[in-house]
Amino acid sequence: MNIAEQIKSAGFALNGITNNSDCLILVFDQTHRITNCNEESRRLLGACPEQLLGQKLNQPLKLGYLQTLIMQNFCFKGQPILIDGRQHFCDFSPIEKNDKPQGGILAIYRHEQRATLSAEMPDLLQAFKPECFQHEDSLILVNREGIITLINQSFADILGIRASEMIGKHVHSAYPNSNPSRLPAVMNSGKAEIAEPHLLNGNNAVVSRYPLYKDGELIGGLGKILFHDIDELSRLAEKFSVYVSRPADDRKRKKGDVQEFKYDCNSIIGHSPAMKDLKEKLLRIAQRPSNVLLTGESGTGKELFAHAVHAASKRRYAPFVRVNCAAIPEQLIEAELFGYADGAFTGARKGGQVGKFEQANSGTIFLDEISEMPSHMQAKMLRVLQEKEVTPLGCTRTRKLDIRVVAATNVALEQQVAEGKFRTDLYYRLNVIALDIPPLRERREDIYFITKHLIDNFNDEFDLGIQGLSEDAWQMLKHYNYPGNIRELRNIIESAFNMTAGPLIEASDLPQYIRLKFGPQFLKPALSLPSPDLLGSVGQKPLQEIMEELEQQLLKATLEKTGGNKQGAASLLGISRPGLYKKLQKFNLT
């Protein structure tokens, strides 16, 4: 398919743009590699189309926040982008095949080339704050004339239309056979409408609408679907009604035991084809109620995926309860999972205890290391999953459950079933949907993105400004096999942060077991110290004075080695950072 056909397939999203327009047109695939380009690349980027083919989209362009919007498959129009210090504007439409994103088309032009562009367009995204949205959010953004400048498919789905067919249209004409949008009315009144019911294409949705301002002047409006159907809100209300009706002590105990999800699909870092496919599957299956079995080596992030399944599901506002089956003593696991009544056994807590399954009612229970569950508990687990009810120890009353089970294992459950160590019927109850998380060595293109994320996090934690890795260090990380997967990579970067003098992490800053795999040239050199004739001072000076001279020389040499980085110097000397500062003040070395 040539560029003209690809532009045509984008629908209204790129209305008015042709291959002959004075616009730079970049077509890219699902890995964000450029697959097609027109001759305008020579003028705007100083490169012929052949030079750009195969490059990642962010190599010739500084995309900034636009990269986030593109990765989330937002359609947008008239968003600002800098090229060689000059402001241009761009439109974007995803390319879809069988309702799945397959890449996109980015058109870049000067302001005067598009008459439909409003003067306030560059400010809309700043007022919108794209870093605050989540992957599952359903959003629409209009300028002050009511023209849709940004929308995602999640919002368009409830209207039964492609987002690319809505972009650039007035919000009233873009809604097919539906109640008209109230965004223009909200912009006229200047008052936000929060959690209002609205009939959208036959769906009873709950929406919020906000006017957007800059310097006190209206520049647009933002709409967000909070609930695609009112039943989801009813489930949330029922959850809180049950919670409030409980005795205060029980509510306090529940709050301490149950955690809400900490991560969502955006927290899963990975742009490799395998991870993109996995995340697409996750978002698709999350909407269904079926149980999920997560498999993969230790350290691949199975708990993160469990949180993400819950966060993308209709149960996201209900409890998420984590259970590590290997961490609970065998004699206590039944009481922990199913709970117990007052006086059920010697040593039981007064008043009894709510079990993990009951705590997770209406939400998700995550059974980590499910392969470690004792055999006597597997039969009882099977009954809970089949009958969707639980009976606490010492209690005759059965309690109905509405839960989703996400289980995880780093061993081959099929082999355990074959060896008689795990029940076949329980295995099939858990393994309704299987997500196998690949080890890091099988998706090496993700190592760069994960490492960058870790460096950003540790810069905040350590209050440092590490810019990245040297070429040698990067080559070592890129070719290492990571038996401990992402957990091991995190430990490697944290260790390097304690050793580096900055601004780059050098190969010699990486843990020794990594460097040994790549040759002795990467081993950390010993600390070289001045060699004064300290022995000559014996008998001439008091011992305390000699020791202080040696300490002062050690401090100077260490600071010189770390380039003045005090965190690195403290780490090399094996002392705390405050302790180092005290010594530096003592010898006036600050």
Give pLDDT tens digits for 325-358: 988 888 888 888 888 876 666 656 666 788 899 8
Q: According to the model, what pLDDT value does residue 251 have?
A: 45
For residue 383, pLDDT over 50 is answered with: yes
- pLDDT of 250 over the 80 cut: no
Q: Is the pLDDT of residue 370 over 90?
A: yes
The closest of 499, 439, 506 to 477, measured between CA atoms, is 506
Helix and strand numbers (H, E) in the chain are 24, 21
What number is the average pLDDT over the span 367-385?
Answer: 90
Residue 335 is predicted with a pLDDT of 86
| Percent of the chain residues past pLDDT 70, beyond the cut | 78
Question: Which of 57-61, 78-82, 127-131, 374-378 is least confident?
Answer: 127-131
Instruction: Give the residue-averaged pLDDT of 183-205.
Output: 87
pLDDT of residue 117: 44
Q: What is the 3-state secondary structure (H, E, C) of 474-500?
A: HHHHHHCCCCCHHHHHHHHHHHHHHHC
Query: Burial level of 54, CB count in 10 A (0-12/13-18/19+)?
Result: exposed
Distance, CA of 529 to chain centre: 46
The verdict on domain 1-117 having CATH code 3.30.450.20 is yes
Q: Please report the pLDDT score of residue 122 as a whole number.
A: 47
At residue 397, the pLDDT reads: 80
- Per-residue pLDDT band for 184 (boundaries 50, 70, 90) equals very high
The β-bridge relationship of strands 404-409 and 24-29 is unpaired
Question: Taking 50 as the threshold, does the pLDDT of residue 33 lie above it?
Answer: yes
In tens, the pLDDT along 132-181 reads 455 557 889 998 899 998 888 888 888 888 888 888 889 888 887 666 88
Given a cut of 60, whether residue 243 has pLDDT beyond it is: no
d(CA 410, CA 300): 9
State the pLDDT at residue 490: 94
Name the strand (E) or helix (H) holding 249: helix 248-257
pLDDT at 194 over 70: yes
Residue with structure tokens 């008043």? 351
- DSSP letters spanning 520-562: GGGSPPPPP-----GGGGBTTB-HHHHHHHHHHHHHHHHHHHT
pLDDT at 396: 74
Q: How many residues are present in the chain? A: 590
pLDDT at 541 over 80: no
Q: In one letter, which amino acid is 197?
A: P
On whether the CB atoms of residues 467 and 496 are closer than 8 A, the answer is no
Domain residue spans in the chain? 1-117, 119-228, 246-436, 443-522, 534-586
Contacts of 131 (CB under 8 A, 6+ apart): 65, 68
Assign 67 a pLDDT band (cuts: 50, 70, 90).
Answer: confident
CB 517 within 8 A of CB 539: no
pLDDT-derived band at 128 (thresholds 50, 70, 90) equals low
- Tabulate helix, strand, coil % of the chain (nearest 5): 40, 20, 35
Q: Which of 155-164, 435-444, 520-529 has the lowest mean pLDDT?
A: 520-529
Whether this prediction's pTM lies above 0.85 is answered by no
With a cut of 60, say whether residue 124 has pLDDT above it.
no
The answer, yes or no, to whether residue 90 has pLDDT greater than 70, is yes
pLDDT at residue number 306: 93
Helix (H/G/I), strand (E/B), else coil: 420: coil
CATH number for the region 246-436 comes to 3.40.50.300
pLDDT of 305 = 93
- Structure tokens, 335: 């009481």
pLDDT over 90 percentage in the chain: 19
Q: How many CB atoms sit inside 10 A of residue 450's CB?
A: 19
Within 13 Å of residue 298, how many CA atoms lie on the same side as its CB? 5
Of the options 3.40.960.10, 3.30.360.10, 1.10.8.60, 1.20.1440.230, the CATH number for the domain spanning 443-522: 1.10.8.60
Distance of CA 229 to the CA centre of its chain: 26
| Of 241-250, 293-302, 578-587, minimum mean pLDDT range | 241-250
Per-residue pLDDT band for 585 (boundaries 50, 70, 90) equals: confident
* pLDDT classification of 542: cutoffs 50, 70, 90: confident
User: Residue written as tokens 């599957």?
Assistant: 281
pLDDT value for 344: 63
Structure tokens at 139: 């959003």
- Joined together, the tokens standing for residue 196 give 């209002």
DSSP-assigned letter for residue 437: P
Question: What burial class does residue 374 get, using C-beta atoms within 10 Å of its C-beta: 0-12 exposed, 13-18 middle, 19+ buried?
Answer: middle
Q: In the prediction, which pLDDT does 255 show?
A: 42
Q: Tokens 């002392």 label which residue?
A: 575
507: which DSSP letter? G
Q: CB of 504 within 8 A of CB of 540?
A: no
Which of 126-135, 185-194, 455-464 is least confident?
126-135
Structure tokens given for 58: 């962010």
Structure tokens, 95: 């390319």
Specify the CATH number for 119-228; select among 2.40.110.10, 3.90.380.10, 3.40.50.1820, 3.30.450.20.
3.30.450.20
**Amino acid occupying residue 56:** K
* Same CATH fold assignment for domains 1-117 and 119-228: yes
Give the pLDDT band (50/70/90) at residue 260. low
- Residue 547's CB: how many other CB atoms inside 10 A? 12
Superfamily of domain 534-586 in the CATH hierarchy: Homeodomain-like (1.10.10.60)
- List C-alpha distances in Å: 279 to 74, 139, 177, 391, 490: 17, 20, 33, 36, 21
